[in-house]
């Protein structure tokens, strides 16, 4: 269980104890006064379900919120307090000052003092549970893939920037951008931050993974996939630009295909 995501949690919310897997019955254990947590409930266990905030009418969804997600939201970098967590989980405000929520949290081994300060800034992303945040990123990916006008953007920018004597230079630059962007997108795709009820196996070095996990925790799973979605639009723009340039080469009266100025990998990038 040696994941960078877990190491962020360890420092303030949960103390690991060797306990049997049916942990919820042991949640009364308190190991240290200033630790928020006694035993550890199975993080994949469902804590509650919340209605989607972005659902319309008949497509009303409910998203499962796991114990693991609650632990993540209460831990750094976000450190939600009981009041904000109650809002995220769509709990009605009650006169008992959130005691009901705090009791439920204790049952899963999280001891959250009243009035605990929130650490990260509240944004509109804060209100989303991970399930909905990921769903939103996926929908954004869908519109970037299907609706972004990559071809029109490519045609426009090529007209703006394609000096006829510079076509080969521009092609090299586009190919370089394509390769650099792909490396970056591949890195984002290898992000294995803990999310929902998943405990994915790591691919990346722990150092870079923990940094990506920080971003994932701040955005509840939205950030990485949303960046990938936007990069899809950009990469489609690059592809259309290269296609457009190739057409210009074919139709131009110019001679030769010149040297490729950036790298011998150019030929591999033709699609």
Q: Which of residues 87-146 bind a copy of itself (CB under 8 A)?
A: 87-88, 121-128, 132, 135-136, 139-140, 142-144
Decide whether 4 or 109 has the Cβ nearer to a copy of itself: 4
In the structure encoding, which two tokens stand for residue 74, read together? 């209460």
Helix axes 223-251, 150-161, angle to 10 degrees: 50
Helix axes 130-147, 223-251, angle to 10 degrees: 10
| Closest CB 65 distance from a copy of itself, rounded Å | 15
Pick one of 12, 234, 248, 249: the residue that binds a copy of itself (CB under 8 A).
234
| Closest CB 62 distance from a copy of itself, rounded Å | 14
Which residue blocks in the chain are alpha helix, DSSP H? 4-10, 67-74, 82-88, 99-107, 130-147, 150-161, 167-189, 206-219, 223-251
Residues 192-211 that bind a copy of itself (CB under 8 A): 204-205, 207-208, 211
Using rule CB under 8 A, residue 245 touches a copy of itself = no
* Cα–Cα distance measured from residue 178 to residue 263, given in angstroms and rounded to the nearest whole number: 12
Return the closest-CA partner of residue 49 out of 62, 34, 37, 33: 62
| Closest CB 246 distance from a copy of itself, rounded Å | 16
In the structure encoding, which two tokens stand for residue 216, read together? 């994932």
Segment near a copy of itself (CB under 8 A); pick from 38-46, 62-70, 101-109, 176-184: 176-184
Using rule CB under 8 A, residue 248 touches a copy of itself = no
* Total binding residues toward a copy of itself, as defined by CB under 8 A: 74
CB burial string 244-271: b at 16+ within 10 A, e below: bbeebeeeeeeeeeeeeebeeebeebee
DSSP 55-124: --GGG--EEEEEHHHHHHHHSTTT---HHHHHHHTTPPP-TTTTHHHHHHHHHTTB---TTPPP-SPP-G
* Cα–Cα distance measured from residue 42 to residue 6, given in angstroms and rounded to the nearest whole number: 13
Decide whether 124 or 253 has the Cβ nearer to a copy of itself: 124
Pick one of 16, 62, 99, 261: the residue that binds a copy of itself (CB under 8 A).
261
Segment near a copy of itself (CB under 8 A); pick from 8-16, 64-72, 212-220, 246-254: 212-220
Pick one of 98, 109, 131, 223: the residue that binds a copy of itself (CB under 8 A).
223
Pick one of 41, 237, 240, 244: the residue that binds a copy of itself (CB under 8 A).
237
Residues 54-83 that bind a copy of itself (CB under 8 A): 54-57, 59, 77, 83
Decide whether 19 or 177 has the Cβ nearer to a copy of itself: 177
Pick one of 196, 222, 240, 244: the residue that binds a copy of itself (CB under 8 A).
222
Using rule CB under 8 A, residue 189 touches a copy of itself = no
Decide whether 103 or 186 has the Cβ nearer to a copy of itself: 186
Which residue is it, tokens 């030769």? 256
């Amino acid at each position: 269980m040696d994941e960078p995501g877990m190491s962020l949690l360890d420092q303030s919310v949960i103390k690991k104890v060797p306990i049997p897997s049916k942990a919820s019955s042991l949640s009364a254990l308190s190991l240290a006064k200033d630790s928020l947590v006694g035993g550890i409930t199975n993080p994949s266990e469902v804590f509650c379900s919340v209605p989607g905030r972005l659902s319309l009418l008949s497509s009303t969804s409910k998203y499962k919120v796991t114990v693991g997600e609650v632990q993540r939201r209460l831990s750094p970098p976000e450190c939600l307090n009981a009041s904000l967590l109650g809002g995220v989980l769509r709990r009605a405000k009650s006169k008992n000052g959130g005691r009901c929520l705090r009791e439920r949290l204790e049952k899963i081994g999280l001891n959250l003092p009243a009035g605990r300060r929130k650490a990260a800034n509240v944004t509109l992303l804060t209100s989303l549970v991970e399930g909905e945040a990921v769903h939103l990123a996926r929908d954004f990916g869908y519109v970037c893939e299907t609706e972004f006008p990559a071809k029109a953007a490519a045609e426009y920018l090529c007209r703006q920037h394609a000096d006829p004597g510079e076509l080969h230079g521009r092609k090299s630059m586009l190919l370089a951008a394509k390769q650099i962007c792909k490396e970056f997108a591949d890195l984002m795709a290898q992000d294995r931050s803990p999310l929902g009820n998943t405990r994915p196996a790591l691919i990346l070095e722990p150092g870079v993974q923990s940094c990506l996990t920080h971003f994932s925790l701040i955005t509840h799973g939205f950030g990485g996939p949303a960046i990938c979605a936007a990069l899809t639009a950009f990469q489609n723009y690059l592809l259309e630009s290269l296609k457009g340039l190739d057409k210009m080469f074919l139709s131009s009266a110019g001679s030769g295909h010149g040297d490729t100025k950036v790298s011998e990998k150019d030929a591999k990038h033709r699609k």
